């Protein structure tokens, strides 16, 4: 049965034939009715077949679908620029656009090449920075209101309402708008560099995204860090995955057990045991300075974590794990995951959310994110201090005892730094990758520029790419 014949009941009010591809021409004979479809300002009148299917959104795969028979390498292929289509009712799209910051799912369809996946959950996503200038609420620090940008980051939940089938091995898709990255390269380049140095990190590629048949622009398709990511990147996939909780609090001791449980992204419903990461934090807290490396090497791959630090610091990932933001004396970091392998008691740090990386290489361009210290340095007797254009409060990363322990691997750091600069970070590698990616997305970038006033101009983008290369050159001299 064709994809179209599976979804005609739903598209009685949502017919976008230019994005629905059929596997064959067999369409059942059914009575037709006339309906009107509205997609933004476009109204399309069509003859729509009736059907006796009770749930018009549900499409049951027959096993021949490509998304069931190919793995994730297909959609994360660095050589391809794929187009994805989202189809929603006008009501559901209006619900999303009325309050993007609610981050609540609505039901819709995902159409990709010859296949339709339906239903799926669809919502906007983002932190405060992602919504700045893109919603019409009055408070920058508490974004609210209706969508006013062409693009916002989106999350697609394939495992919607208990769906067991995955989409090219994925349970969720994340399309990042890159609204704060005029080069359109930060996430793709950053994750590529981490992965080239052996750090477990998500894959990222560019993708075109249509919503109800209307092209909205280029996004970064970034791999979700979840249980499926763990299976693909670690030998032992039974362990706990945590989001944005550190083994030690800024006070120097482990958090309460419930805090670790609440940060779980796997095993959260299986009477979770968080002893491994908490005990590791306790060992670090109680260790003498001269014993830190012994504890770290027993529970971490030192080359892996030092490589993390090398890449993070050279690309100035200043909104990541090594920026401790402070408020009323309490300091926390964000934009990372931890994974623990129970069979070996090993812990792994995973980078996340790199859209603000690279910005502060030439100067402290971002008023919020600049980190004051060089790797391993500290100041102000480890008390919070103001820094950056807005003098926001932070604490030196090396005041965290675990980070200070990593910084003690000075010879390893310098060796890996040289390998990085002469390898993935060299002109021959990363600059060439950027040129390849620019060529890949130029036409799609121009298409968005021709359609939308808030799309980046071609001249501006070329300048930003040149600036990005200048930032890389400066970082190599670090």
Residue pLDDT, tens place only, 276-288 = 999 999 999 999 9
| Whether pLDDT at 46 is above 70 | no
User: What is the DSSP-derived secondary structure letter of residue 430?
Assistant: I
Phi-psi domain of 391 (left: phi exceeds 0; alpha: psi -120 through 50; beta: other): left
- Lowest mean pLDDT segment, chosen from 24-33, 211-220, 386-395: 24-33
DSSP per residue over 177-196, as a string?
--TT-TTS-HHHHHHHHHHH
Which distant-in-sequence residues (6+ apart) come within 8 Å of 285 by Cβ? 248, 252, 253, 254, 401
Length of the chain: 478
Residue 162 confidence (pLDDT): 86
Tell me the pLDDT of the chain averaged across its residues.
89
Strands (E), 212-335: 214-222, 241-243, 324-327, 330-332
Crossing angle (nearest 10°) for helices 186-196 and 432-451: 160
- Lowest mean pLDDT segment, chosen from 134-143, 328-337, 436-445: 134-143
> How far out from the chain centre does Cα 8 lie?
33
| Whether pLDDT at 10 is above 50 | no
> How far out from the chain centre does Cα 3 lie?
29
Structure tokens that stand for 198 in this block: 């052996």
Residue spans of the domains in the chain: they are 58-223, 237-420, 427-476
Q: What pLDDT, in 10s, does the model give residues 188-226?
A: 999 999 999 999 999 999 999 999 999 999 999 999 999
- Is residue 279 within a helix (H) or strand (E), and if so which, with residue range? helix 275-286
| Whether pLDDT at 25 is above 80 | no
Average pLDDT over residues 348-359: 98
User: What is the DSSP-derived secondary structure letter of residue 56?
Assistant: T
Residue 385 confidence (pLDDT): 98
Cβ burial 286-306 (10 Å sphere, 16+ → b, else e): ebeeeebeebbeebbbeebbb
Structure tokens that stand for 276 in this block: 């491994």
Q: Are 36 and 47 in contact (CB under 8 A)?
A: no
Which distant-in-sequence residues (6+ apart) come within 8 Å of 462 by Cβ? none
Residue 262 has a CB neighbour count (10 Å cut-off) of: 14
Distance CA(279)–CA(107), nearest Å, equals 42
Q: What pLDDT, in 10s, does the model give residues 119-176?
A: 999 999 987 778 888 999 888 778 899 999 999 999 999 999 888 999 999 999 999 9
């Amino acid at each position: 049965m064709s994809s179209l014949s599976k979804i005609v009941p739903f598209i009685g009010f949502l017919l976008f034939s230019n994005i629905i591809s059929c596997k064959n021409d067999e369409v059942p004979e059914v009575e037709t009715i006339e309906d009107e479809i509205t997609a933004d300002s476009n109204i399309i009148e069509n003859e729509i077949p009736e059907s006796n299917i009770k749930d018009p959104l549900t499409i049951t795969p027959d096993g021949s679908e490509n998304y069931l028979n190919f793995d994730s390498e297909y959609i994360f292929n660095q050589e391809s620029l794929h187009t994805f289509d989202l189809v929603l009712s006008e009501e559901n799209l209006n619900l999303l656009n009325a309050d993007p910051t609610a981050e609540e799912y609505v039901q819709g369809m995902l159409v990709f090449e010859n296949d339709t996946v339906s239903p799926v959950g669809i919502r906007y996503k983002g932190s405060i920075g992602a919504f700045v200038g893109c919603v019409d609420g009055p408070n920058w620090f508490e974004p609210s209101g209706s969508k006013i940008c062409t693009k916002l980051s989106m999350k697609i939940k394939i495992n919607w309402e208990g769906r067991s089938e995955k989409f090219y091995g994925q349970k969720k898709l994340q399309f990042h708008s890159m609204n704060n990255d005029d080069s359109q390269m930060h996430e793709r380049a950053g994750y590529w560099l981490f992965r080239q140095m052996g750090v477990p990190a998500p894959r990222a590629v560019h993708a075109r995204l249509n919503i109800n048949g209307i092209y909205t622009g280029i996004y970064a398709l970034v791999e979700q860090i979840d249980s499926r990511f763990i299976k693909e990147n670690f030998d032992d996939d039974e362990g706990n995955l945590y989001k944005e909780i550190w083994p030690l609090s800024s006070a120097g001791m482990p958090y309460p057990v419930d805090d670790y449980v609440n940060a779980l992204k796997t095993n959260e419903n299986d009477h979770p045991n968080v002893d491994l990461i908490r005990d590791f934090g306790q060992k670090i807290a109680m260790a003498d300075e001269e014993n830190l490396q012994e504890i770290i090497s027993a529970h971490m791959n030192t080359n892996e974590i030092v490589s993390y630090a090398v890449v993070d610091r050279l690309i100035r990932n200043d909104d990541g794990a090594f920026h401790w933001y402070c408020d009323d004396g309490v300091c926390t970091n964000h934009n990372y995951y931890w994974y623990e392998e129970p069979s070996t008691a090993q812990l792994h740090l995973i980078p996340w959310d790199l859209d603000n990386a690279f910005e502060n290489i030439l100067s402290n361009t971002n008023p919020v994110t600049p980190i004051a210290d060089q790797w391993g340095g500290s100041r102000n007797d480890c008390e919070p201090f103001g820094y950056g254009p807005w003098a926001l409060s932070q604490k030196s990363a090396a005041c965290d005892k675990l980070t200070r322990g990593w910084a003690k691997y000075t010879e390893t750091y310098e060796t890996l730094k040289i390998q990085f600069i002469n390898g993935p970070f060299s002109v021959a590698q990363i600059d060439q990758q950027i040129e390849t990616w620019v060529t890949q997305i130029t036409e799609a970038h121009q298409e968005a520029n021709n359609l939308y006033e808030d799309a980046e101009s071609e001249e501006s983008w070329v300048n930003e790419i040149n600036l990005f290369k200048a930032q890389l050159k400066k970082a190599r001299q670090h």
